[in-house]
Amino acid sequence: MGASDRLAHDTISDEHRAWLSSLPLTLEVVDGVLAFHGSPTDDLTYLLELVEESGARPATQQEVLDRLGRARMRRHGRCCCAGTPTCSGQWCCRRVRWW
């Protein structure tokens, strides 16, 4: 477990964990804007980067499409994510190019 994960684990209560577990994996904030952590199908997988032994690299077009999965079918105009190396831990919303 990394240092930030250890701090979160040691700091939050069982009540916090229950609340976090109750949250949906994705949320359509407004029409055409999909919010999620990580990717729409897995909150532990980055959408726009791939983490390898040598470090993080930008995901290929096909890797992004694969990670978007069924969410891609909805044609959301923006995807919002947080905590990716590109976003530097800040919320960012990007216009999604539908290849």
Average confidence (pLDDT) over 81-99: 48
The pLDDT tens digits for 11-58 are: 999 999 999 889 898 888 877 777 888 888 888 888 888 888 999 898
Buried-exposed string 20-48: b where 16+ CB fall within 10 A, e elsewhere:
eeeeeebeeeeeeebbbbbbbbeeebbbb
Query: Domain spans of the chain?
Result: 25-95
pLDDT higher at 97 or 14: 14
| Residue 75 · residue 31 · CB < 8 Å | no
Q: What pTM value is reported for the model?
A: 0.60
Q: Indicate the SS3 state at residue 13.
A: coil
55 backbone dihedrals φ, ψ, rounded to 5°: 130, -165
Is the per-residue pLDDT at 84 higher than 60?
Answer: no
pLDDT band at 99 (very low <50, low <70, confident <90, very high): very low
